[in-house]
Structure 1
Amino acid sequence: MAKIFRVSARAGMTRVVEPVARRLLRLGVSPNAVTVAGTVGVLVGALGFGARGHLITGLVIVTLSALTDMLDGTMARLSGGSTTFGAFLDSSLDRVADAAIFGAVTYWLAVTGHHWGAVAGLICLTAGQIVSYVKARAEGLGMTCNVGIAERPERLITVGVGGLLSGVHLDWGLPAALWVLAVLSVVTVAQRILHVYRQSRRATQSADA
C-alpha cells in the first residue's frame, strides 16, 4: 500500500515538476548541478537550523531542498537519461543528506538533555546507512534488494513528522518518532539481508541442479 501511494504521489509531483525541469534545461542548468544544490540546501537546513533547535525552519528548508531529488531525475530523463556519474552522484549525496539530517537531530537531542532520543537518533543514523549499503552491495553482486518496511522516503517522512511535533512544543514528538523509526530501520536491515540470502540460496541451488 505504501509503495502504491508513493508511486501515485510521485506521478502527480512529476506533472508539477516537469515544466520547471524543462525551464532549467533551457537555461543550461545540468541535473548534476541541481543535485548538488539540493544537498547544500539540506545541509543548511539540517546543520544550520535543525541542529540549533530551529526545527520548523530546518524542516521547511530540508523539505524544499529534498524536492530537488525529483527535479534532477526529471531533468535527466528529459535530457536523454541519467548518466552513470549522475546516478552515482545522486546516490552518494543522498547518503550525505541523510547523515546531516539524522546527525543534526541527534546532536540537538543530546545537547538538550533528551539522551534516550539521541540514542534512537544514533540507531537511525547507523541503520539507515546500512539499509542503503545492503541494497547497493546486493545490486553490485547482481541481485535485487527493493524491499523493506522503512525505505528512504518513509525514513525522511517519519523524522519530519517528529521534528514538526517537537517544533510546536510537543517535546516527545521527535524522540518518539526516532524510536519508531529505529525499530523499523533495524527490521528493514533484516528484511533486506534475508531477501538477499534467499536469492543467493536459489542461485546456489540452481547451479547445483
Structure 2
Amino acid sequence: MTWTSAFGKGSGWLLQKIVNGLALTRISPNALTFIGLVINIIAACFFGFARPNNANRMFLYAGLIIIGAGVFDMVDGRVARKTNQVSVFGAFFDSVMDRYSDVAIFFGLLIYYARGNRLFYVGLVAFVMTACVMVSYTRARAEALIGTCKVGFMERPERIVCVILGALCNRWGVMAPALWVLALFATLTVIHRIRYTYVETERRKKLITQTK
C-alpha cells in the first residue's frame, strides 16, 4: 500500500460523507470529473501568473486549489458507484480529464519559469510533463496487451502530492527538488513498466509456443 492510498483510507469517513451528500444531488460523476479539471486549470493560472515578488503566495494558492481539485478526483468514482452510474465511458472520460489536468498544472509551471527566463527549469518542467504523460501511456498500452500493468511507484496520486508539497513549501525552495523527484521517479516508473511488459509478453509467447 502506498502512503497516499493509506492517507485516502484514513480519510475515508470524511470522503464518504461528501459522497453521500453529492449522491443526494444526483449530479453526474462526469460533471464532477470535469469540475476537477476546471479547478486544476485555475491552479495552473496561479502558477503561470506568479511573479518573483509574489511567487510564494501564488504557489501557496495553487497548492491549496490543487488539493480542492483532488477532492473531486477522489469522489467522482465513488459517487458513480453510489448512484449506480458506473460506465465504461465514465472511466475513459476520467482518465482523459486526468491527463489534461496534469498537463495544465505543468504548463502553468512552464509559463512561470519561462516568464522568469529560467530556461533550465523550462526544460525540466517540459521533461517532467512528458515523463508523467508517459507513465500513464505505458500503462494504457501495456494493459491493452497483457491485461494489467500497475507496477511502478510514481502513480498519479504520488505525482500530485509531490506538486502540492512543492507549491505549499515553495517559500523554502521545495518546488525545484519536487520537480527533480518527479523527473527521476516518473522515468524509473516508465522504464519499469516497459521491462514488465517485455517480460510478460515474452512469457506469454513461450506459453503459446509450448502449447502448440
TM-score, with structure 1 as normaliser: 0.91
> What corresponds to 2:37 in structure 1?
39
How many angstroms apart in 2 are the aligned matches of 1:62 and 1:6? 15
Does residue 197 of the first structure (1) align with residue 198 of the second (2)? yes
Question: Matches of residues 1-209 of structure 1 in structure 2 within 5 Å?
Answer: 3-46=1-44, 48-53=45-50, 54-80=58-84, 82-166=86-170, 168=171, 170=172, 172-209=173-210
TM superposition shift of 1:81: 5.8
Q: Which deviates further from its counterpart, 32-41 or 157-166?
A: 157-166
Q: CA deviation at 1:32?
A: 1.1
Matched residue, 2:54 = none
1:176 is aligned with what amino acid? P
The alpha carbon displacement at 1:40 in A equals 0.7
Alpha-carbon offset, residue 140 of structure 1: 1.7
3-state SS of 2:149 partner:
coil
CA contact (8 A) 1:31 1:75 kept: yes
C-alpha displacement of 1:82:
2.1
Contact 1:14–1:74 (CA<8 Å) still a contact in 2? no
| 3-state DSSP of counterpart to 1:145 | coil
Contact 2:146 2:197 survives alignment (8 Å)? no
1:169-197 residue CA offsets vs partner (Å, 9 max, x unmatched)? x3x42222212211111111100100111
| Structure 1 moving runs of 4+ over 6 Å | none
1:4 Cα deviation after fit:
4.0
Q: Percent identity?
A: 32
Indicate if the aligned counterparts of 2:146 and 2:201 stay in contact, CA closer than 8 A. Answer: no
What is the CA-CA distance between 1:13 and the residue it aligns to?
2.4
* TM-score using structure 2 length: 0.90
Distance 1:14 1:83 in 2: 23
8 Å contact kept, 1:158–1:181: yes
Unmatched runs of 5 consecutive residues or more in structure 1: none
Amino acid paired to 1:200: T
Range with greater deviation from structure 2 (90-99 or 27-36)? 27-36
Contact 2:46 2:61 in 1 (8 A): yes
In structure 2, stretches of 5+ residues that fail to align are 51-57
Output the amino acid matched with 1:74.
R
